[in-house]
Amino acid sequence: MAGLVPAIHELTRGDKCVDARGKPGHDGRDRVAVSPKANRRGERRMASLKDMRVRIASTKATQKITKAMQMVAASRLRRAQQAAEAARPYADKMSAVISNIAAAAAGSPGAPALLAGTGKAQVHLLLVCTGERGLSGAFNSSIVRLARDRAQALMAQGKDVKFFCVGRKGYEQLRRLFDKQIVEHLDLRSVRQLGFVNAEDIAKKVLARFDNGEFDVCTLFYAQFKSVIAQVPTAQQIIPLIVEDKAANAPATSYEYEPEEDELLSRLLPRNIAVQIFRALLENNASFYGAQMSSMDNATRNAGEMIRKQTQIYNRTRQAQITKELIEIISGAEAV
């Protein structure tokens, strides 16, 4: 089984005490242990052939892992994609209904803050959704980069920027630059199946902060799933809500509302935040597996290429050595 080649995992163990307190350093001993081997020229070549074998085996093991990860990602991608597609009708309907009502209510002075905004745009909250794990190519960093560029642009304009990180990877990357500005971060690692509850949870936290007047504008960052090979990092403003013009231009059906428009709107707007976040999370999830699948596919192919090259060098070296030994034997025989 090439997956567990003992040679890869063989470390200098047993003879080395890890706890070095109260003992003289063993640098000297190590040097003594290594140097005679390096001096014996004949054995050095043998070791190098062995080294090559080990390296090939190790690359093969890596290839098996990346191949397995690719297949796992492919099957999870299918499920994630289905979930993202299943959520679409709800989100679409929701925005259709809201833009219908909002078009009527936006002009009135009593429009809710979630729709009309707080009247200023001083403090921005960036809600950055990323993956929990790496090994997915540029997936996480492309979202982070978009958020970072936006944050720097806003700060250059003299605005205040706060971060709310969903997902471990984004938090780790943003922490290096904006540690003080991250007001909250959330880990979804323990969540096996993304549910609407998770999105509701995030929405509640965001809305609580909005009600406290901690920010004026909230923008959601996630990767939109286009296809397996294309994930587009996207910024979407969710507070105040941007009502699409397209819907306003369409002939609006004159609905009756029950209860009144403003009451209905005050129910729907917070819910819409949760729906948008849920959609972003699902899109993100599908994008993550898509990115992981293609990056693992690349890794598998690269490993295959490496194995081919290494094997060629190995065989060439081995043949050269055999030829050399033969020459030595023949010339030795001739001399006698």
Site residues, other proteins (CB under 8 A): 83, 86-87, 89-91, 93-94, 97, 100-101, 195-196, 199, 253-259, 263-264, 267-268, 271, 275, 278
Q: Minimum distance from CB of 255 to other proteins (Å)? A: 5
Q: For other proteins, give the closer residue by CB, 65 or 83.
A: 83
CB of 96 to other proteins, least distance (A): 8
State in angstroms the smallest separation of the CB of 209 from other proteins: 18
In the complex, the smallest distance separating the C-beta of residue 277 from other proteins, rounded to whole angstroms, is 11
In this complex, which beta carbon is closest to other proteins, that of residue 94 or of residue 248? 94
Helix axes 261-335, 196-211, angle to 10 degrees: 120
Q: How far is the CB of 111 from other proteins (least distance, A)?
A: 17
**What are the CA-CA distances from residue 24 to residues 12, 14, 27, 38, 116 (Å)?**
19, 18, 9, 25, 72
Measured distance CA(274)–CA(166) in Å, rounded: 14
User: Can you tell me the distance from the alpha carbon of 233 to that of 208, in angstroms, rounded to the nearest whole number?
Assistant: 26
Helix (H, G, I), strand (E, B) or coil at 123: strand
H or E element in which residue 237 lies: strand 231-239
Query: Quick one: 74 exposed, middle or buried, by C-beta within 10 A (0-12, 13-18, 19+)?
Result: middle
Rounded to the nearest whole angstrom, what is the least distance from the CB of residue 207 to other proteins in the complex?
A: 15
Which CB sits closer to other proteins, 101 or 161? Answer: 101
For residues 132 and 169, is the Cβ–Cβ distance under 8 A?
yes
Nearer to other proteins, 12 or 253 (CB): 253
Contact 229, 223 (CB under 8 A): no
Residue with Cβ nearer other proteins (93 or 189): 93
The SS3 call for residue 234 is strand
User: Please, which residue, 74 or 94, has the CB nearer to other proteins?
Assistant: 94
